[in-house]
Amino acid sequence: MRKTHTVYRFFRCSALGMALICGLWLGGCDRRKQSPPPLVPEVAVVTISTQQIILTTELPGRTSAYRIAEIRPQVNGLIQKRLFTEGSDVKAGQELYQIDPAPFQTVIDSAKASRGRAEANLPAIQLRVARYKEALADKAVSQQDFDDADAALKQTEADIQYWKAIVETARINLRYTRVTSPISGRIGKSAVTDGAIVTAYQPMTLATVQQLDPIYVDVTQSTTDLLRLKRRLEDGRLDHNGKNLNQARLILEDGTKYPLEGTLQFRDISVDPTTGSVIMRAVFPNPKGVLLPGMFVRAVLKEGVNTNAILIPQQAVSRDPKGNPVALIADSTSKVEQRLLSLDRAIGDQWLVFSGLAPGDRVIVEGMQKVRPGTTVKVVPQNDGRNQGSKPGLPVQSAPASN
């Protein structure tokens, strides 16, 4: 009886085990049949469209005074007094130095006296010539006497004119004893003090006056960039007939932007053989005297208008093994395609694309690490709310940034 009960328990346990194994196996088969399909990777895209932008270039340069006047004496003499404050603003015609006028006043007085003596002799000589002329008709005087009287008259008249010129020259030299500024501007330090002896047109300047408002900015542009710009204009990629393309802006040495705009004045016609560059000059208003001669600045100049520019975020561009720029796009069937790009330049946080993309292309800007060419993807706009979990992208700029 005990043996029969033992056998019964053995078969009962075995049946339960087999039933459990079969159940697990069948459950596994059902789960394999019900597994979901693989997830389609989601990518954020921007749709390409053309826009009009103004292309700019940033060039190094230095400031220089609009006008410079080197003050030199025009007569010899002794500096009696300096009449200006060094480093101050002076006006055109303002007296800067006073040279001792006494010697020049003496020359004027002497020349006036000599002129007066000649003028005093003139009436008597004129009467003598008139009498000799009448007497010569009656044969009362010789022809030689008349010729001598006439020559004396002409010499006296010439002496009067000579002394008039001497007086005028002396007056001019007397005015030159007041050394004045020919222009309005800021004067620097004085090279002489009271009591110094100066000579006319000496090599050493007494002082220098510089007009700083407006002020020049001379920038250099390489001939390579100049030729590239001409090709773009000839190819029609740039339009140089837009408004205000001759305006320029400045970035100061500390990185701040100068608040006032300048005007491009001219481009030099000669190339510097040592640097292979040409000089361009712009004029900037400088009412507060922020710009000083010799300052290093960077000028932002406008090259032209690109009416069909294509801009894409820089994060959308990568490099292939050869270093060529490429971008991934999602075609009309939402499959990934790789495009080889030709880039023009960086504009702010975007690339200006020369070739490789067309309006309507959907460029992948986020999720590129999860896909490869040929992969089917789920496309969402870059700033769509369903893509908030990823890093927000940068929208395409509608306004140009400085290069």
**What's the rounded Cα separation, in Å, for the pair 295 and 62?**
5
Residue at which a domain ends, from 175, 192, 225: 175
7 in a structural domain: no
Residue at which a domain ends, from 239, 274, 305: 305
Residues 255 and 352 in one domain: no
Residues 231 and 277 in one domain: yes
Per-residue model confidence (pLDDT) at position 286? 94
Residues 189 and 96 in one domain: yes
Burial 214-233 (b: 16+ CB within 10 A, else e): bbbbebbbeeeeeeebeebe
Per-residue model confidence (pLDDT) at position 130? 87
Parent domain of 193: 73-100+177-204
Q: How many CB atoms lie within 10 A of CB 213?
A: 16
Residues 89 and 183 in one domain: yes
271 in a structural domain: yes
Residues 287 and 352 in one domain: no
Sign of the dihedral through C-alpha 318, 323, 325, 326: negative
Enumerate residues 6+ apart whose C-beta is below 8 A from 152: 125, 128, 129
375 in a structural domain: yes
Q: How many domains does the chain have?
A: 4
Residues 94 and 199 in one domain: yes
33-49 average pLDDT score: 77
Residues 221 and 244 in one domain: yes
Residues 313 and 376 in one domain: yes
Q: 3-7, 28-32, 176-180, 397-401: lowest mean pLDDT where?
A: 397-401
- For 215, the token pair is 């002020």
Residue at which a domain ends, from 305, 321, 337: 305
**What's the rounded Cα separation, in Å, for the pair 205 and 215?**
22
Q: Does 402 score more than 80 pLDDT?
A: no
Give me the chain's average pLDDT, please.
82
Q: pLDDT-derived band of residue 250, with 50, 70 and 90 as boundaries?
A: very high
- For 185, the token pair is 């501007």
257 in a structural domain: yes
Residues 290 and 368 in one domain: no
Residues 83 and 192 in one domain: yes
Residues 254 and 269 in one domain: yes
Residues 93 and 188 in one domain: yes
- Domain CATH for 196: 2.40.50.100
- Domain CATH for 159: 1.10.287.470
198 in a structural domain: yes
Q: Does 31 score more than 80 pLDDT?
A: no
Q: Which residues, listed in sequence order, are joined to residue 311 by a DSSP beta bridge?
A: 352
Per-residue model confidence (pLDDT) at position 134? 83
Q: 21-30, 162-171, 225-234: lowest mean pLDDT where?
A: 21-30
401 in a structural domain: no
Closest CA to 215 of 152, 151, 156, 260: 260
Q: Does 354 score more than 60 pLDDT?
A: yes
167 in a structural domain: yes
**What's the rounded Cα separation, in Å, for the pair 186 and 94?**
12
Per-residue model confidence (pLDDT) at position 272? 81
Tell me the per-residue pLDDT of 113-149, one tens digit each, with 9 for 90 and over: 999 999 998 898 889 888 888 888 877 888 888 888 8
Query: How would you write 322-369 as a 3-class SS string?
Result: CCCEEEEEECCCCEEEEEECEEEEEECCEEEEEECCCCCCEEEEECHH
Closest CA to 72 of 96, 90, 88, 94: 96
Q: Does 385 score more than 70 pLDDT?
A: no
192 in a structural domain: yes
- Domain CATH for 362: 2.40.420.20
Q: Does 4 score more than 50 pLDDT?
A: no
Tell me the per-residue pLDDT of 288-330, one tens digit each, with 9 for 90 and over: 989 999 999 999 888 778 888 899 999 999 998 999 999 999 9
